Amino acid sequence: MEAQEHNEHTQEKKMLPPPVGTFQTREELIKHVRDFALTQGYMVSIRDSSKDRYVTLACDRGGVYRKRLKTGENLRKRKSESRLTNCSFEVVGKKDDDIWILSIKNGVHNHEASNDTSDHPSCRRFSEEEVKIIRELTAAGKRPRQILKALRQKNPNLVSDSRNVYNVKAKIRREMVSGKKMGSSGGVATTLTTLSEPMVQNGVAGTGSSQAYLERKAVTDTRALAAELCRHFYTLGWFSGTGGSIAIKVHDDAIPKPSQLIVTSPSGVQKERMVTEDMYVLSSDGFILLAPVLKAYPHMPPQCTDCAPLFMKITHMEMIKGIQGHSYHDELVVPIIENAAHEGELIESLVEAISIYPKTTAVLVRNHGVFIWGGSWISAKTQAECYHYLFDAAIKLHQSGLDWTTPSHGPICNVNGFRGCGGNYNRALKAGPLSLNYMTEPSQHCILLDIEGTIIPISFISDVLFPYTHDNVEKHLAATYDSEETQIDISLLRSQIETDLERGITGAVPIPPDYVGKELVIGSVVENVVAMIKNGRKVAALKQLQGHICRTGFQRNQLVGVVFDDVAEALERWQNSGIKVYIYCSDSREAQQLLANSNYGDLRKYFCGYFDTTVGNKEEIRSYLEILRMVGVDKPTNILFVTDIFQEASAARDAGLEVMMSIRPGNAPLPQNHGFRTIESLLEI
């Protein structure tokens, strides 16, 4: 009787077992079961298997939750109810000769049908092709939500979310450290082979053993060559103390070129002191196979260059050739791409430039440097020497008031829209060195600027942006609630509020879980945002949401960034002097670029990069050390930091940077005897 009632209950839910039958392959059988299971509201996973004999598929809600570790008061407890119900549903596939036969062992479930395929962990797993896409976009510096968007464009039925992307990215980071490669199922497989004969597996050469191959003469010679070239390029002035990188393929006739290993120099290491052991060895698809040994203080821990993804992309392009087909009368075009705060973000621009100009073997990065490559290290070195000569000649012609773009090298008639020789503009180029008498050349190579109280008046933030956020937060959340971006914003705020509640922060109220309903969640988020604004909080969760709200205002021309009157002129002067300018602000990088659309026009062209609190808190020394590493200057004093906050200035000074304090209307007063030089205008620099 009980069994009959249970069967009737199951039939009512329409959770039927898959139709039995025969199949040509094991994979075909498994796909048949899983596809049918989804139509019934359940999913199966492999419980037991012998690849050439049988496979047992069971309901993914089978089994029971097992308490993990410790006992008594220290017992680890789940924060949510387990989805396991000890369901006994099970089907079996057995191989008979060359045919796989499906049979039902237990076709009954003990739970309700699922209404959402995302409830099943197996449905949220990525395929091998999807893992490959995540790997490539991760190397390109893309964020999880950007990667997820790309995956959904390729597969609209994808049910995975950002958390699943985060998990895969975390495994990729771990495998980069361990030199192992992750499979599509999330497991790990070794990258190197252990066969006795030379061969290629997963793009990596193996012979005898992985370590044995890495110690072969071809690899060690290439590492030695890379170190030698780093030292040589330093003496030529092409590399700074820690700036600049090199990558060379390990030539091995036994290995196809696309699969040969790559040797690359580390980041943040003094190039004039490079030795063989400092070089990294990468697989053809970018895995770290051999890393430098950690050296004693004061040496920094070794780090693979941020250019590695760019080197990988260049090595796989088919346009690697010499500067050939060019004669004296031909035009040599070197494309220029815009700079980014992180070199990994240059990949798309680099590939696009190479595609548009297939003959080029060099790409200039504005306010940063140049990438040069060739079919061999000799070819690349020769081309670098040629480009250096051509670039140097062009600069000297330009400084002499001559047009380097024409064979006649006549006087410059127009430069960047300014009238040159023959005109009356007071900055006209004259014979001899470029004249910039109206300013004193600073000793710093880079300037790092705060936004609030330095570039933009505090009153613009407090009287314009905060009120706009206050007035539009509820409208924004209601309109975008179901978007991935807003769900991430709410998740970050929920985490922040949990911390605030533990610390007893005034105004913090719990944000309920999503299942209570959209209106209640939005109401509590609005209440917290209003309290944070009132209390002057500068937490990342608030700044990110505020940036997304204000983005709409800028796009609709409801907001225009207001900068001090001296800012635009100062930025232009610094750019003309070859000084790189960066932003470091608690606002998100996206919000910083929105503010650059100002009452003086779009100022983004003057900035080489943007840093936010993802590099660290602005009042912590390590944040400025990280920026030093990322910018790649010779020494900390080559960066001048300008801010209005005493604690930020102190942290930057302790990190070795030059610091100036900005005195602007509305800024908070500075402590007496603060010890910093102050300015009231950026034109004073």
Q: Cite the active site residues.
A: 318
Select from 299, 307, 171 the least CA-distant residue to 239. 307
Question: Which amino acid is residue 548, in one-letter code?
Answer: H
Preceding amide of 358 cis, omega within 30: no
Distance CA 646, CA 619 (A): 9
Select from 607, 540, 594 the least CA-distant residue to 562. 594
Distance CA 587, CA 596 (A): 12
* CA 655 vs CA 74, 267, 662: distances in Å: 42, 19, 19
The DSSP line for 294-335 is PPPTTSPPP-B-TTHHHHHHHHT-S----S-S--TTSPPP--
Q: How many CB atoms lie within 10 A of CB 355?
A: 10
The answer to whether 382 and 356 have CB atoms below 8 angstroms apart is no
The answer to whether 282 and 288 have CB atoms below 8 angstroms apart is yes
- In sequence order, what are the residues at sequence separation of 6 or more whose Cβ sits closer than 8 angstroms to the Cβ of residue 179? 191, 192, 287, 288, 289, 290
Residue-wise burial string across 47-84, b where 16 or more C-beta atoms lie within 10 A, e elsewhere? eeeeeeeebbbbbbbbeeeeeeeeeeeeeeeeeeeeee
Distance CA 654, CA 633 (A): 17
Q: How many CB atoms lie within 10 A of CB 394?
A: 15
Residue labelled with tokens 């009153």: 459
Q: How many CB atoms lie within 10 A of CB 645?
A: 21
- In sequence order, what are the residues at sequence separation of 6 or more whose Cβ sits closer than 8 angstroms to the Cβ of residue 358? 319
- In sequence order, what are the residues at sequence separation of 6 or more whose Cβ sits closer than 8 angstroms to the Cβ of residue 142? 150
The answer to whether 641 and 657 have CB atoms below 8 angstroms apart is yes
Judging by DSSP bridges, how do beta strands 609-611 and 418-419 pair with one another?
unpaired
Distance CA 377, CA 383 (A): 10
Q: What is the 3-state secondary structure (H, E, C) of 606-617?
A: HCCEEECHHHCC
Judging by DSSP bridges, how do beta strands 180-182 and 188-190 pair with one another?
antiparallel
